[in-house]
Amino acid sequence: MDKTLKRMATMHRIQTAGLELFYANGYYATSVDDILKKLSLSKGAFYYHFESKEDFFVQIIQNLLSRKVYSSLIEPIEGFNNPLQSITSCFDEARKPPFTMKWTSVACSTISFQNFVVKMKPS
C-alpha cells in the first residue's frame, strides 16, 4: 500500500475510534490512551498524525463540518444549469417571515440555513 494511502487510512481509523469514544464518553472523559487502546496503536502513531488531543478533535470536527456542508449545500445544486439563481432564490425566500415562506424547489429547502442548523443538532 502506498505510504500516503496507509497514512490516510491510519488517520481515518484513529479519527473514527476517537469520534466514537468522544460521543460515548465526552471529550474530557476520553484520553488519547483510550483511543489508542481501542485500536492497539502506540502513542507514536497518534502523535505522528496529530499534534495534540485538541488538534485531533479539531480535525474531526473540521472533517464532519466539511462533509455536512458539502452534502447540504453543494450536492443539492450540482445538477442545476444555473446554481447561482437557485441560491439567490433560496436566500430571497429565507428572508421572508416563516409564516409566509414557501419553498419553491428541493434545492432551496435543502440548502436553507435553518435546515442546516436543525440537521447539525444532536438527536
* Residues 29-65 pLDDT 10s: 999 999 999 999 999 999 999 999 999 999 999 999 8
- The answer to whether residue 72 sits within a structural domain is no
8 and 36 part of one domain:
yes
Distance CA 53, CA 31 (A): 8
Where do we find the cell 449545500?
Answer: 73
DSSP for 5-61 reads HHHHHHHHHHHHHHHHHHHHH-TTT--HHHHHHHHT--HHHHHHH-SSHHHHHHHHH
Grid coordinates given for 118: 436543525
Grid coordinates given for 61: 470536527
Whether pLDDT at 121 is above 90: no
Q: Which residue has the higher pLDDT, 49 or 99?
A: 49
Give 106's pLDDT tier (boundaries 50, 70, 90).
Answer: very low
Grid coordinates given for 2: 502506498
- The answer to whether residue 42 sits within a structural domain is yes
Q: What is the mean pLDDT of residues 66-83?
A: 82
User: 0.85 cut: is pTM over it?
Assistant: no
- The answer to whether residue 73 sits within a structural domain is no
Grid coordinates given for 23: 460521543
Contact 117, 73 (CB under 8 A): no
Q: Which residue has the higher pLDDT, 49 or 116?
A: 49
Whether pLDDT at 113 is above 60: no
Contact 90, 108 (CB under 8 A): yes
Enclosing domain of residue 13: 1-64
What mean pLDDT, rounded, does the chain reach? 80
Distance from the Cα of residue 11 to its chain's centroid: 16
Give 16's pLDDT tier (boundaries 50, 70, 90).
Answer: very high
Distance CA 88, CA 108 (A): 9
The CATH number given to whatever domain includes residue 53 is 1.10.10.60
Give 96's pLDDT tier (boundaries 50, 70, 90).
Answer: confident
